[in-house]
Structure 1
Amino acid sequence: MSLPTVVPAASPTPAPRRPAKVWTRVAGLAVAAALVLTGCGGTAASGSDGEGKSEKKTSSAAFPVSIKHAHGTTEIPEKPKRVIAVSWMSLDVVAALGTVPVGVDEQWGGDKDGYNPWFRTQVEKLGGELPEILNYGDAGEMDFEQILSLDPDLIIGLYSGISDVDYKRLSEIAPTLPYLEKPFDGGTWQNMTRTIGKALGESDKAEALVTDVEGQLATVAKENPQFKGKTFAYGVALTPGSTEVGMYVPYDPRVRLLTEMGFENTPSMKVITDTVKGTNWYGGVSLEKLDTVEADVFVAWANDPKEIGYSLKDPLFKRWAPIKTKNYAFVKDATLGMATSGPTVLSIPWAMERYVPMLVDAVAGKGTPAS
């Protein structure tokens, strides 16, 4: 069966620039992990409260399932067995709930095959085969022929930019669950877990996973009381020619993750949000106006470790308070960048032992070295 080429969904990047070659191929990915500021009028999953909590049902007893989203309502008649996960995070949740996807997007920071370690470990634990990596055209268009050949009975893209046209084409293949409210906004990782749990008939298991990981984050906060009340801004390392610092808005996943560990958003967030353009999930603060952003700590990701050294040498950037006092943490490992930019019930536990020590050093004024 031949499916027509469609207008591709927007292909966001995790920061104000394209981070790596994978982003030229993957429609519906973002760094990090991320989001837009204007809504599409969608609603939360049917049968859930404002936090996306679903009624506790499991397996066949949960079906049929009806879930509302930005493009309409998706009906899932029976428990899915062959799931395709588009974009970030969804694949982790599907696997964590006991189903190995048959097709997934190549993941930023993944190994030579395109899989992140926490996902590969979970698939091995389940005794399944690693899924097929989805193909995209040069303009980011989906390979509908490939998707059709995988014979899915559910397509999930909660953290994606699936357009209305794409949604209609995908729905011709299988029930499709796109973003609930806004492109590249999967909501909280808790909400995403519960929504996918409902779609797979595993609401009880989803709730147990959320409780477990929330407990781990609460432990991190308890064991690191120095995090409490510390204000932060999350941004991007500079590159040659940069005249501003890219910084993320409050609902971005990596920002939310820090607040769950005890940190507080900068009280100067309006300075950042006022610079957001269009549907971007980040703003750009001029280097000359960095002192208008109040923050005890600056956390950022770097596409290349060399960018850290470049940033720290910039005459304007290094005068900014958290940089001057070495209260900064640069995530220079792409895999850790993915784990914390698109946090999930699988990636958060993996990330904590690597991420927390960096944050401890940042609060203590022992910022990440350039090399």
Structure 2
Amino acid sequence: MTTLHSTSRLAALGGAALLALSACSASTASEPAPEAPAAEEAPESSAFPVTIEHEFGETVIEAEPERIVAIGWGDLDNLLALDVPPVGYFGALSEGLLPWAADQIDGSEPEFLGYTTEVDYEQIAALEPDLIIAVQGTAVDDESYRLLDEIAPTVARPAGMGGWQVGREDGTRQIAAALGRADEGEELLRELSAQFEAARQAYPALEGATGVSVITYDASLYYAFAPIDGRGAFLEDLGLEWPEAVRDQYDGTTFSVELSPEEVGILDGDVVLFMVDEPEYDPIADNGLFERFDADLIAVTAETRTAISLNTPLSTAYAIEHLTPVIAEALDD
């Protein structure tokens, strides 16, 4: 029998397991341009100059940057996690800082410049940056890269990766290297790996369960996110597996498997996560086939949905704490 769950129930699901997860995590850590927020624990000056290879060539960073602008929707998180707040940033799905990013701010907030898909080059230039980061969560192309690089040295996504295809580890490593903080970047990834391990230990039902993250815009098509995307990677890192029938349809190159309304039966397993706007969303109202599912159906909304979409160390740690108990409860039903 299908059971509906919502991440809005999280307030009632804290408990000892979440406290244990928190304990096992060390930290997850025209007008004049505004002053740059202070960075902590600056790298050794010997770290510079650094040369970063990327999709559009290579960028030499001669000295430790002090005024950074973040373009991609994951770039801000990585900079904050590395204790190097930018002077300005472009956001993903909302104006202002999301909870996990706000927790990293100690001092003045960086300036919100708009959305990643609508980059304003004049705004960027007005901030007088000495480095632009356009790595994770952006589709910068040759022309937009040229315009950015005319303003300040610009580091883009790793070579060979398409727009929007930079995952958590590649994004963190590329940005950390540009800041002369490669070791700190590796430490962030190790800490996050430890948090996933703690989650799997706290909730043994996760390991080997079948689950898939799905989005639909008007119920005419459904998209099952692959592990190449943050929404699929999160479940995989928790120990869940894709339903075999979905995996069989995946070609290994795209973000998702596209399904017609008549094909959604292959999504069935233990849990199905729906990326939606409203916590009351009922997939059965759109498609009666979901009523036949053995899987529990979970509506993932608001900050939790954004957290697994951004797929950064900071946002993923937030999702581990807030979404994992909901998935585990569904598996225990």
Q: TM-score range by the shorter chain?
A: 0.7 to 0.9
Corresponding residue to 1:186 among 156, 160, 166 = 166
Corresponding residue to 1:65 among 46, 50, 55 = 50
**Does residue 1:347 correspond to 2:310, yes or no?**
no
Partner of 2:164: helix, strand, or coil?
coil
Partner of 1:291: helix, strand, or coil?
helix
**Does residue 1:88 correspond to 2:73, yes or no?**
yes
Residue 303 of structure 1 corresponds to which residue in structure 2? 277
Once the two structures are overlaid, the 10-residue window that deviates more, 290-299 or 177-186, is 290-299
Number of residue-to-residue matches in the alignment: 289
Q: What 5-or-longer segments of structure 1 have no aligned partner?
A: 1-56, 366-371
Partner of 1:265: helix, strand, or coil?
coil
**C-alpha displacement of 1:291:** 2.2
**C-alpha displacement of 1:271:** 5.5
Structure with greater contact order relative to length (CA < 8 Å, sep ≥ 6): 2
Residue 195 of structure 2 corresponds to which residue in structure 1? 216
Does structure 1 retain, via aligned residues, the 8 Å contact 2:157–2:174? no
**Does residue 1:162 correspond to 2:126, yes or no?**
no
Q: How does 1:79-118 map to 2 (within 5 A)?
A: 79-108=64-93, 110=94, 113-118=95-100
Deviation string, structure 1 residues 20-78 (Cα, Å, up to 9, x no partner): xxxxxxxxxxxxxxxxxxxxxxxxxxxxxxxxxxxxx9432222211222222122111
Residue 236 of structure 2 corresponds to which residue in structure 1? 259
Partner of 2:323: helix, strand, or coil?
helix
State the TM-score, normalized to the length of structure 1: 0.72
Partner of 2:73: helix, strand, or coil?
coil
Residue 329 of structure 2 corresponds to which residue in structure 1? 361
Residue 330 of structure 1 corresponds to which residue in structure 2? 299
State the TM-score, normalized to the length of structure 2: 0.79
Deviation string, structure 1 residues 310-333 (Cα, Å, up to 9, x no partner): x12234332452xxx35122102x
**Does residue 1:121 correspond to 2:121, yes or no?**
no
Label 1:85 to 1:318 Cα distance change in 2 as closer, same or farther (>3 A).
Answer: same
Residue 19 of structure 2 corresponds to which residue in structure 1? none
Q: Which structure is higher in helix share?
A: 2
**C-alpha displacement of 1:146:** 0.7
Identical amino acids, percent of aligned pairs: 30
Residue 132 of structure 1 corresponds to which residue in structure 2? 111
**Does residue 1:273 correspond to 2:242, yes or no?**
no
Question: How far apart in 1 are the matches of 2:67 and 2:245?
Answer: 46
Label 1:256 to 1:237 Cα distance change in 2 as closer, same or farther (>3 A).
Answer: same
Does structure 1 retain, via aligned residues, the 8 Å contact 2:90–2:119? no
Runs of 4+ in 1 over 6 A off after TM superposition: none
Q: What 5-or-longer segments of structure 2 have no aligned partner?
A: 1-41
